[in-house]
Structure 1
C-alpha cells in the first residue's frame, strides 16, 4: 500500500500545534507518517507533541534554521511514496489526503495535486475563501503569472517529483514555496481537487519587518523564472510583476498599521497598475483602490471608526 509522509515544520508552535496534528490524525487515509521538524523551538512545542500518543508521529529537533530548511530536513526523513507539507498553525479537512491521493492515482502523469483554501482566524473561525482555481495539466504559465497556491499547506506531491527538483531554496524565504512550485510545474503536470480542504490561519502577528524582504525575494523569484522561461512566455513578465505588487499592496495594508501602511500600499498599487493597466478592470483592485483613497482622506480617528465597515466589504479578495 502506498504511504504518505506529512512534513510539519514547527517553531514556537505551542498555540496551534496540537490542533494541527489532530487534523492530520483524523485523515480518512491511515497509511501515513507524521514528521515534525522542531526548528529550535524555545516554548512548549516539543513538550506538547510528546503528549500525542500516535505511533505514526516522529519528532526531530534541530537548531533554528527557518521553514525552508525545516521542510528540506523533513524530506530527508520521509519514507512515503507521496509527500505533503503542512504549516504548524494550518488545518486540513479530514478527506484532504484521500481525495488528493485519488486524483494523483487517477492521473499517473501528474506529480502534484492541489485543493482549494479558505482563511481562518486564531479561533479557527472562517474568514473568507481564497480564489478557486481550476488549472490542470501544464500550469507553468499560470504559476509564472501568479502563485495561485497561496500557502505551503496545499499540495500532495509524488516522491519522484520531489526528487526531480531537489530542495527548497532557503535563501529566498519567505517566498521559497512559489519558487518550488514553479520548479515542479516545469517538469510535472498538476491536478486539482475542486474542494476547499486547506484552512490557512491568519495571524495577528505583524509582518511589517518582513514585507521588504518578501518584496525583494518575490522579485528575485520572478526575475530568475523569466530568465529561464521560453520566449513565448516573456509577454507575461509585466503581468506577473504587477501581480506581485498587487499582493504587496494587500500585505502592506494588512500588516503595517495606520496611514503609513496605507501610504505604502498606495505606492505598491500604483506600481502594479502602471505595469498592467488592465488591473483597473478587476473588481478586487477597484475595491482596494477605493479603500485606499478613503483611508487617505479620513482622519486617523474616522479611519478607526470605519475599520469594521471596510473589513465587512473588502475582506474577501476573491470578490
Structure 2
C-alpha cells in the first residue's frame, strides 16, 4: 500500500512544451522526498501530453478540457492526498531546498496557513535578478492597507486551509487575480510564514494581456469591497493604480500600431481607474510625447503571470 505523502505538488500545464520539463525536474530534484506530483494537463494542444507521459509513474497526470489555471489547480488539489499543497506553474522553477524549508516553517508554526518565499526573475536572455522580495509576513491589516502579491509558485499551504477557503474562485476564470484573492481568505484563517530566500524562480516574459486581466481586476476590487468595505481602500487603490498603468501601456502599444481610436479608449479606461490622471495631465494627455512621459508615472511593477 502506498504511503500518504506529506506534500502534494500541483502543476497546472497548458501548452507548456517549452518549459514544463524543467519545472517538473526542479521538483524531482528536491532534497525533500516525501511528496507527490500532480500535473493537470489543461487541454493542451502541443507536446505537453507526450512530455508528461515520459515521466511514467513519477507523476500523476490529470487530463481535462481547457478551463484555465485556477480550475486546473483546484482539480489537482482535489486529487491530492498530502497535508500540504505546494503550487508550481509550468514555466517556473524551484531551488532544491524549496520544499525542505517550506515544510520546516509550517511544521514549526501550526497556526500558519501558508508559507511563501522570495522570487528570482529569469529573463529570456538567461539573466536573472531579484523580482519579489518582502519585508516580512504581512498582517491582514497590512494586506488591506497596501495590497499584497505572492505568486503561486512561491507558496506552500495547508490543504485544509485551501479547502476552507473554497480553493481558487471560478469567478476569475480563466486566469489572473485568483491567487491574490485566495491569499486574503487564507490570511483570515492563520498567519503567514515568510522565508527570506530566493527559493522560487519565475520566468519573465512579454505578452499581451487578455481581456480577462481587466475583467478579473474589476472582480477582485468588487470582492475586496464586498468583504472588507472601507478597510480595503488601500488595496483597492493599489489595484486601480496597477490596472491604470497596464492600460496606459496598452494605449502606447495601440498608438505605435497606428490605432489612435484604440489608444484613446485605453486611455479613457485608465482615467476611469485613476481619475487623478486628468488633473496631472489635463488636455495634453493625447499628445504622444506626454503619454510616453505619463507611463513612467503609472507604470506597473508586477509580473504578469
Question: Normalization by structure 2: what TM-score?
Answer: 0.79
Q: Is the 8 A contact 2:22 2:93 kept in 1?
A: yes
Q: 1:13 aligns with which of 13, 16, 21?
A: 16
SS at match of 1:218: helix
Counterpart check, 1:24 vs 2:19: no
Counterpart check, 1:4 vs 2:7: yes
- For residues 58-110 of structure 1, give each alpha carbon's deviation from its aligned partner in whole angstroms, at most 9, with x where no partner exists: 11111111111111110111111100111111111221111111111111110
Counterpart check, 1:296 vs 2:288: yes
Distance 2:29 2:300 in 1: 29
The runs of 5 or more residues in structure 2 that have no matched partner are none
Residue equivalent to 2:169:
169
Number of aligned residues = 285
SS at match of 2:81: coil
Q: Is the 8 A contact 1:103 1:191 kept in 2?
A: yes
Residue equivalent to 2:225:
226
In the TM superposition, what are the counterparts of 1:53-202 in structure 2 within 5 Å?
Answer: 55-126=57-128, 128-136=129-137, 139-173=139-173, 174=175, 175-202=177-204
Distance 1:124 1:40 in 2: 29
Distance 1:316 1:227 in 2: 25
Question: Normalization by structure 1: what TM-score?
Answer: 0.76
- For residues 161-195 of structure 1, give each alpha carbon's deviation from its aligned partner in whole angstroms, at most 9, with x where no partner exists: 12222221122233111111111111121110011
Counterpart check, 1:39 vs 2:46: no
Distance 2:77 2:34 in 1: 17
SS at match of 2:96: coil
SS at match of 2:114: strand
SS at match of 1:78: coil
CA RMSD of aligned residues (A): 3.5
Q: Is the 8 A contact 1:252 1:262 kept in 2?
A: no
Distance 2:300 2:223 in 1: 31
Q: Is the 8 A contact 1:245 1:268 kept in 2?
A: no
* Cα 1:221–1:109 shift into 2, 3 Å: same
In the TM superposition, what are the counterparts of 1:268-279 in structure 2 within 5 Å?
Answer: 274=275
Distance 2:249 2:276 in 1: 23
- For residues 246-292 of structure 1, give each alpha carbon's deviation from its aligned partner in whole angstroms, at most 9, with x where no partner exists: 2224434556625379867766665666579xxx9xxxxxxxx9xxx
Distance 1:73 1:148 in 2: 25
Q: 2:242 aligns with which of 247, 250, 273?
A: 247
Q: Is the 8 A contact 1:89 1:201 kept in 2?
A: yes
Residue equivalent to 2:53:
50
* Cα 1:134–1:9 shift into 2, 3 Å: same
The runs of 5 or more residues in structure 1 that have no matched partner are 281-288, 304-309
* Cα 1:25–1:275 shift into 2, 3 Å: farther
Q: CA deviation at 1:316?
A: 10
* Cα 1:167–1:235 shift into 2, 3 Å: closer
Q: CA deviation at 1:235?
A: 4.5
* Cα 1:8–1:255 shift into 2, 3 Å: farther
